[in-house]
């Protein structure tokens, strides 16, 4: 680790939970972020400042003025541009040493191969079908991922580690329609709060800290957090029976995903 890296990450290196050895580990890690909305854009900036080696960004949406109150990588000059492309440009300004790869596409089964090329996947979507695709791909390629969700003043997050924790399909049987920000609204602080917790969880996974796979629910307005243990489902389609149906051709080109 050269002097520039030592200086940039010095405030992390002095932490007993990180130190120089763990910082070196982070500098070799790659992360896929699916969805560059409220949670995803905040997480992308955190990972960039954290000092991972590479970020792969996937989002097919363009930036709208309604995004700007919570999606922190974008400004007025970015309106109508693709989120993934604009995010990549901004992240390179923040930390030019981080490799950035981006795709202006929805994450569907045709893109699941990317999961095999990273150390961790971060979920920034509010689309259950996309999450099932992520879940199937991560179980198939044995890669950990962090599930996050934020709407109104509430959020949730969970670590999913193949072979160690319950997966997303263990507690969700089939996709269902979820409330969206355009209808339910979202307080500008909530995606950032959830992203912070999610990235903290990702750091622990990347550095091999013990993770129990509980799901955490947050009421940000009333400063409440609940932790609920979720055990593996022995009849789970995905992690138990290895039925990766969401990686099939019918989930390729599935259309526009709705992102926080």
Provide the residue-wise pLDDT of the chain in tens; the chain has 260 residues. Answer: 566 667 899 999 999 999 999 999 999 999 999 999 999 999 999 999 999 999 999 999 999 999 999 999 999 999 999 999 999 999 999 999 999 999 999 999 999 999 999 999 999 997 899 999 999 999 999 999 999 999 999 999 999 999 999 999 999 988 776 667 777 889 999 999 999 999 999 999 999 999 999 999 999 999 999 999 999 999 999 999 999 999 999 999 875 433 33
d(CA 213, CA 168): 10
**Burial of residue 138 (number of CB atoms within 10 Å: 0-12, 13-18, 19+):** buried
Domain 34-251 has CATH 1.10.10.60: no
d(CA 99, CA 101): 7
Domain boundaries, the chain: 34-251
3-state secondary structure 51-93: CCCEEEEECCCECCHHHCCCCCCCCHHHCCCEHHHHHHHHHHH
d(CA 117, CA 135): 15
d(CA 110, CA 107): 8
């Amino acid at each position: 680790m050269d002097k520039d890296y030592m200086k940039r990450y010095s405030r992390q290196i002095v932490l007993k939970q990180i130190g120089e050895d763990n910082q070196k580990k982070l500098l070799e890690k790659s992360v896929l972020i699916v969805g560059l909305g409220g949670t995803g854009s905040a997480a992308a900036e955190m990972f960039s400042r954290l000092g991972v080696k590479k970020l792969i960004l996937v989002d097919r949406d363009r930036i709208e003025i309604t995004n700007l109150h919570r999606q922190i990588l974008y400004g007025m000059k970015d309106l109508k541009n693709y989120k993934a492309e604009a995010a990549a440009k901004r992240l390179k300004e923040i930390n030019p040493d981080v490799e950035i790869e981006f795709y202006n596409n929805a994450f569907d089964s045709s893109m699941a191969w990317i999961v095999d090329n990273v150390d961790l996947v971060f979920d920034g979507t509010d689309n259950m079908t996309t999450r099932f695709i992520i879940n199937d791909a991560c179980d198939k390629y044995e890669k950990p991922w962090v599930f996050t969700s934020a709407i109104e003043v509430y959020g949730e997050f969970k670590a999913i580690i193949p072979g160690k924790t319950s997966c997303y399909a263990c507690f969700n049987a089939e996709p269902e329609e979820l409330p969206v920000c355009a209808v339910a609204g979202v307080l500008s602080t909530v995606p950032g709060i959830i992203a912070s917790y999610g990235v903290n969880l990702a750091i622990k996974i990347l550095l091999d800290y013990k993770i129990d796979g509980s799901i955490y629910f947050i009421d940000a307005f009333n400063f409440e957090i609940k932790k609920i243990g979720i055990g593996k489902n022995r009849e789970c389609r995905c992690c138990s029976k290895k039925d990766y149906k969401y990686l099939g051709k019918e989930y390729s080109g599935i259309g526009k995903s709705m992102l926080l």
